[in-house]
Amino acid sequence: MSLLETITAPADLRALPVERMPELAEEIRSFLVSEVSKTGGHLGPNLGVVELTIALHRVFDSPRDTIVFDTGHQSYVHKLLTGRHDFSKLKKQGGLSGYPNRAESEHDVVENSHASTALSWADGIAKGRRLRGQGQRHTVAVIGDGALTGGMAWEAINNIAVDKTLPLVIVVNDNERSYAPTIGGLAEHLATLRTTRGYERFLAWGKRSLARTPFVGGPVFETLHGVKKGLKDIVAPQGMFEDLGLKYYGPVDGHDEQAVERALRQARDFGGPVIVHVITQKGRGYQPALDDVADHMHGIGKINPETGLPFEVAGRIWTDEFNDEMVRLGAERDDLVALTAAMLIPVGLDGFAAAYPERVFDVGIAEQHAVTMASGLAYAGLHPVVALYATFLNRAFDQMLMDCALHKAGVTFVLDRAGITGSDGASHNGMWDMALMSIVPGLRLAAPRDGDQVRRQLREAVDVTDGPTVIRFPKGDVAEPLEAVRQQGDVDVLFETGSGDVDLLVLGVGAFAGLAVDVGAKVAALGHTVRVVDPRWVLPVSGTVLDLAAQAGAVAVIEDNLVTGGVGAAVTVALREAGQQAPVHLHGIPKRFLHHASRGQLLEELGLTAESIVADLQTRLS
């Protein structure tokens, strides 16, 4: 039996002799490389926090003490140390989640994988327990340097710092990266902390030097000591944290397990809020991850563990279409600029950045700032393109509404990973954006059905100067081009059984256009007349859609988005306002959080397949 196999709970870990920790760390890294390479998952972040997580569970008594992981993709080691060793179905239906999950273990607290939230969670947990007479229970928040670029983290720090007796430990896991190298003023500050010997060590050196060389004279050292404040700010920039009222320990070598334990014990026993600054190396112990300058090892598919290379060559994905078209547009328009929130490569702005580096702004994990900054850029005469995962636009809704739309700012939002993404679970499904955007005045939203439409609609979007535009597309391989049989106004007709009135008008939204054509053909085969269209610009509902609906006995809307407040709901309202009474049948995602599973499994479960939709429509049309 391996050492790791003997760990079924943190108590087993604490019972091990300290000299066995390096052996355990090596076993964990070998396990992660072996198992995650079979399933896919977040490999690099977890390889970097092995010793840190071991130390956390040796010093703190989970679940009596609470450990909150920010952006929990670095929680695999935590899962192993709390007895979850079966990684065979990681991120798959019925298997372990890729993030902390309360349904899996009492040791898991925060399931949301959106960044910069852990400090607020920890602040609330620590204060709540103290109010309930449980102040002896400790709370630990583990947050990366990348997540510290998010404004919400600093809102929490601002509140934590004033409570001098709060039993809260903040572990800053500093690996200089989130998805990519951390940028900004905070990153520079942490870099200074990383590379500076530190004020206390400077004083210790001075004292030793005086002892060895008395001829230097006391006045020289006294003078140095007398300029303590200014010197400390130069030599030990932890002053920023301490000036806020937070005790600072560090920097600590995050791969020296005993050093991390000592720092955590000091922090635990301090009696107030403490920051422990731990330096780690993302991808530690696995050379392909260490060599990965593009951060492909952050989240992987199935790979060859020997080489780190994928077993299958990836096809062309939706993001590639956006990436290439942005480069072409950049050559044509010098007013085009781009913004990203610490995800330059995942959202497809790396091509634009390589060609026009001065026109790209990576703001860190700060979506709110990105949107309001984009509004300012638009006011200055530029056309900003803000590229985000669809799920992360939720975080900047107020800024889109009040800073962008209210001021009629010409900003284009490009939302990657829209709709059901599947394996990353509830917090990563991009299923909220269209419902949120449907209530924003003046906003126009496009849902391209294929790569050709991504390019075409992006060009249309950046020509709009009097309000926000949104382009949204899903994760994965891009759909094959789907040619229209004809155009009617601003709508593409994809399939029809005649030129006049029809029994059913089917609106296929975005990547579901192909599914809509399949549904239309099957309904037609049952003896109904059908027309299938791609509205292209789905919000607001166009007059052409209303005209086509007037020629149909019923309307069906198929969308990769919430039914509540989605495109189908907008079509229903628009038809009623126009005095049309045709029934509208909605096929989309129900208003609930979805468990982790493959996209196909979730679509099957939700009835978003051709067979299920046709069966439903057959009942309604008969």
101 annotated binding-site participant: no
CA angle 69, 74, 77 (to 5 degrees): 100
CA 347 – CA 322 distance, rounded (Å)? 9
What are the tokens at 11? 């108590």
For residue 159, say whether it is annotated as part of any ligand binding site: no
Strand (E) or helix (H) holding 31? helix 21-39
User: Is the dihedral angle over the CA atoms 68, 73, 79, 84 positive or is it negative?
Assistant: positive
Q: Is 282 a catalytic residue?
A: yes
Nearest Cα residue to 516 out of 505, 502, 528, 529: 505
Angle of the 257-270 helix axis to the 21-39 helix axis, nearest 10: 100
Would you say 73 is a known binding-site residue?
A: yes
* 367 annotated among ligand-binding-site residues: yes
199 is in an annotated binding site: no
- 22-59 in b/e form (b: 16+ CB < 10 A) is eebbebbbebbbebbbebbbbbbbbbbbbbbbbbbbbb
How many CB atoms are located within 10 Å of the residue 363 CB? Answer: 21
In the set 367, 449, 472, 599, the catalytic residue is 367
How is residue 448 written in tokens? 């391209």
Residue 158 labelled as part of a binding site: no
Q: Which is the catalytic residue, given 79, 84, 284, 395?
A: 395
- As a whole number of angstroms, the distance between CA 75 and CA 88 comes to 16
- The answer for 106, left when phi > 0, alpha when psi is -120 to 50, beta otherwise, is alpha
Q: Are 403 and 372 in contact (CB under 8 A)?
A: yes
The answer to the question of whether 113 is labelled as a binding residue is yes
The rounded distance, in Å, linking the Cα atoms of 11 and 1 is: 18
Whether residue 122 is annotated as binding a ligand: the answer is no
Determine if residue 161 is labeled as part of a ligand binding site.
Answer: no
Q: Is 570 labelled as part of a ligand binding site?
A: no
The CB density around residue 592, as the number of other CB atoms within 10 Å, is 9
The single residue of 282, 284, 444, 472 carrying the catalytic annotation is: 282
Closest-CA residue to 610 (of 552, 529, 553, 556): 556
What residue numbers does the annotated binding site for thiamine diphosphate cover?
73, 113-115, 146-147, 175, 286, 367
What residue numbers does the annotated binding site cover?
73, 113-115, 145-147, 175, 286, 367
Q: What positions carry a catalytic annotation?
A: 282, 367, 395
What residue numbers does the annotated binding site for Mg(2+) cover?
145, 175
